[in-house]
Structure 1
């Protein structure tokens, strides 16, 4: 019995050490965002003044608005295209590894490589960089993740229902609207939430495709510009808000994925 407990305790200690390594720095950041003095070395009391300071910072509010616009636009487009891509790939009669690799390539290509490739593409076409180019870039990045989530649901979908609907006289649009779409709705919503989370957190691709000027700066870019002069309490508060939003959306996405599992 003791020989069984020893590996179990060791595994628990290793797991605890890994979680501590990952989340203790985040916990410290969140704690310091409520420190009245704003100093990382001395706790002088609980305060929300740094969050109030964010509300009065025009640069941060502008970056937050840009992030929301980019996130919602990229999510909407990538959700539609990713869902259609998933249906098309899953219903193909002939499966090919090349097509599969192309569909999932944006997920595995390093962000810096994808960012440079997109910048080169926009520059070669003489396209002015700004929020539209960030949206297009995020769509390419998010589309693969939506495709993966929706295809996971399609793996367990009985396509004989679709064939029965067609045999009974329903058109393609009616079959999609009344049978396929309701069955895929949880996965589509989960994929959209995941795409939104990835979009509001993404920095490298946005940095390369935003162009010059402050008109297209997003929140991650704003945080980067602020920490170049040192970590301030406002940065801690802003990072805490972004992290909280991302964690909330990601948990909802995971819950939807769990609910749709057979």
Structure 2
């Protein structure tokens, strides 16, 4: 038993090293006092200073935050309703309709949405990006809500109706509080996916609506400078913080 366990631990360590060494290199070289990422020269904060003095990058960060917040809120509302419908009606076609965008390739979603916006003469910009992000974020919120619904006791709703509560009152006072951890978890996931998305945003963005991933891509096309490493580090840090917060949204923590 000892040898298989050591082999498993070694294999796990190699996998984690493969995953996290590139991320560690990006973080370390964001403090490198050299414009070339070939070798370590010395420690510096100047790339972060340049980053926060770059108006294009700040505008891209502002666009990303606004779009991600809007997409998370809309996905939270629509995904909550979709998750309830998936649990109550249990129709295969409904599941395919709601969860289809989750399984589709990003490039297919981006191209199809671009053609749709062109067909209905919808201008490309922040609104089109928000609509595009909502289209694939709804499924993630619906999955989280459906999982919470399957663990609920339906007798609570029946008792509320027997006591004279209207459908809206039973939803507002019983269903929604019980679903809140799933809704918040889905919204946090939608926010993370939206702020990190590149492929769908690339096809649906217009002039003046560049997001952080698009701005990073435009910088990387020239060269991978430490400034790119700096913004990648900050984006990575934001994602890790969101994941940490997301992992703590359990029913117990909300009740406390």
Query: TM-score category by the smaller chain?
Result: over 0.9
Equivalent position to 2:233, from 240, 246, 250: 240
The question of whether the paired residues in 1 share the 8 Å contact of 2:181 and 2:251 is answered with: no
Specify the alignment match of 2:71 in structure 1. Answer: 74
Specify the alignment match of 2:149 in structure 1. Answer: 154
Q: Residues of 1 paired with 2:179 and 2:47: CA distance?
A: 42
The question of whether the paired residues in 2 share the 8 Å contact of 1:190 and 1:256 is answered with: yes
Q: Does 2:132 match 1:137?
A: yes
- Please, what is the CA RMSD of the aligned residues? 1.4
Q: Residues of 1 paired with 2:62 and 2:236: CA distance?
A: 17
Equivalent position to 1:105, from 71, 82, 100: 100
Q: 1:1-262 maps to which residues of 2 (within 5 A)? A: 4-92=1-89, 95-211=90-206, 213=207, 215-257=208-250
Q: Residues of 2 paired with 1:259 and 1:227: CA distance?
A: 44
Q: Structure 1 unaligned runs (5+)?
A: none
The question of whether the paired residues in 1 share the 8 Å contact of 2:106 and 2:199 is answered with: yes
The question of whether the paired residues in 1 share the 8 Å contact of 2:80 and 2:183 is answered with: yes
Q: CA deviation at 1:59?
A: 0.4
The question of whether the paired residues in 1 share the 8 Å contact of 2:27 and 2:230 is answered with: yes
Q: Residues of 1 paired with 2:246 and 2:120: CA distance?
A: 36
Q: Residues of 2 paired with 1:244 and 1:113: CA distance?
A: 29
Q: Residues of 2 paired with 1:122 and 1:40: CA distance?
A: 41
Q: Structure 2 unaligned runs (5+)?
A: none
The question of whether the paired residues in 2 share the 8 Å contact of 1:190 and 1:252 is answered with: no
Could you list the per-position Cα deviations for residues 82-133 of structure 1 after superposition, in whole angstroms to 9, with x for gaps in the alignment? Answer: 00111122122xx222221222111110000111111111111111111100
Q: CA deviation at 1:39?
A: 3.4
Q: How many residues align?
A: 253
